[in-house]
Amino acid sequence: MKYSISVFLESKDDVIRKIEIDSKCSLFELHNFIIECFDLQKNELASFYITDQELEIIEEIPLFSFEENNNRNMEDTELESILNSNNNKLIYVYDYMLMWRFLVELTNDVGEIKEKKCISSIGVMPKDAPEVNFTANTEDKYNEDSYEDEYNQDDESY
């Protein structure tokens, strides 16, 4: 079956590739095709991440498995086994030092395919990877001003 997939670079500018690829291909084949479509170097490590609908990471599928108890890797994982109508998004991280991050989204899954191809290319890849900002929500939901005890009384009433 043919998968139509949109791949979005996490960037302030729109950099998007829309591709068609066989649903039975491995994640390794998808990884190589993303590298080709975005004109990236072939010698960097990468991982796909299975996510929930809020894009919270559930599981990593690396290019190579470095752990003995984790047999799952890109080459042994078929695309349709993790990307389908129930779970239509993955995160793809390329080059762990520079942290190029992409959203991979299944947009359509109908028809037959003869060969994989890039059907649309929007935007130009930046020269440098976008800066990664890891920020936490620092808002304290239990701040002193709004604290109520277990009996719904303000702490100032004592």
CB 14 within 8 A of CB 122: yes
> pLDDT at residue 49 above 80?
yes
- Rounded distance between C-alpha atoms, residue 25 and residue 75, angstroms: 9
Distance between CA 98 and CA 129 in Å, rounded? 6
Task: Look at residue 61 and tell me if it is in a domain.
Answer: yes
What is the model's pLDDT at position 53?
A: 85
For 79, the domain range is 2-147
* 3-state secondary structure string across the chain: CEEEEEEEECCCCCCEEEEEEECCCEHHHHHHHHHHHCCCCCCCCEEEEEECCCCCEEEEEECCCCCCCCCCCCCCCEHHHHCCCCCCEEEEEECCCCCEEEEEEEEECCCCCCCCEEEEEECCCCCCCCCCCCCCCCCCCCCHHHCECCCCCEHHHC
Is residue 88 within 8 Å of residue 55, measured between CB atoms?
no
- Return mean pLDDT, the chain: 85
Confidence at residue 109, expressed as pLDDT on a 0 to 100 scale: 87
Please check whether residue 21 lies inside any domain of the structure. yes
Please report whether residue 154 resides in a domain: no
CB 2 within 8 A of CB 20: yes
Tell me whether strands 16-22 and 117-122 are parallel, antiparallel or unpaired.
antiparallel
In a domain, 142, yes or no: yes
Residue 155 maps to a domain: no
Which is more confident, 85 or 48?
48
**Residue 150 CA from chain centroid, whole number:** 41
Query: In whole angstroms, what is the distance from residue 74 CA to residue 61 CA?
Result: 6
Q: Total domain count for the chain?
A: 1
Q: Is residue 132 part of a domain?
A: yes
In a domain, 26, yes or no: yes
> pLDDT digit string (tens) for 122-131?
999 998 887 7
Indicate whether 80 pLDDT > 60: yes
Query: What is this structure's pTM?
Result: 0.79
Q: Is 17 within a domain?
A: yes
Q: Contact 5/105 with Cβ under 8 angstroms?
A: yes
CATH code: domain of residue 105: 3.10.290.30
